[in-house]
Structure 1
Amino acid sequence: MDKKLVVKMIKNCFRQYYETDSLPVSEQDLTKLTNRILEWKKGEPTVDLYEVVNDVVYEFLTN
């Protein structure tokens, strides 16, 4: 799986919640989110990547 694609999807997902171009997340958190998504997808390959990204970003924002 391409990490660049996942990072781009994370950034797009954050734009749903924030109207500014700046991300409310540090590079370290972005890396953690990316790794979490890739691990989840590796463990459950049939799950839609879009759903995984949305779930992980939502969980990050609500915790």
Structure 2
Amino acid sequence: MDEKWLKKLIRNCFVQYGHDMECLPLNDLEWKQLCEKILLEKTNHKDMDMYEIVHDVIYEYITK
């Protein structure tokens, strides 16, 4: 999967939840962890839409 596309989905999701990436900067490790978690969820739930998975993972990240 294209990493740039996935990062764009993640950024857009943060914006939809009212977060600006400047206010919530992610370091390289956090980006990697989010991408890995999203890809793992997609592997485990092949029938789920990628957008739904991204929203679920980002919501969990924001609310933890």
Determine if the TM-score, normalized by the shorter chain, exceeds 0.5. Answer: yes
Q: TM-score if structure 2 supplies the norm length?
A: 0.83
Runs of 5+ unmatched residues, structure 1: none
Q: TM-score if structure 1 supplies the norm length?
A: 0.84
Query: For residues 45 and 2 of structure 1, what CA distance do their matches in structure 2 show?
Result: 17
Query: For residues 2 and 23 of structure 2, what CA distance do their matches in structure 1 show?
Result: 20
- In the comparison of the two structures, how many residue pairs are matched? 62
The one-letter code of the counterpart of 1:7 is K
Runs of 5+ unmatched residues, structure 2: none
Q: 1:56 to 1:23 in 2, by over 3 A?
A: farther
Q: 1:35 to 1:23 in 2, by over 3 A?
A: farther
Q: After TM superposition, which residue ranges in structure 1, 4 or more long, deviate above 3 angstroms?
A: none
CA RMSD of the aligned region, Å?
Answer: 1.5
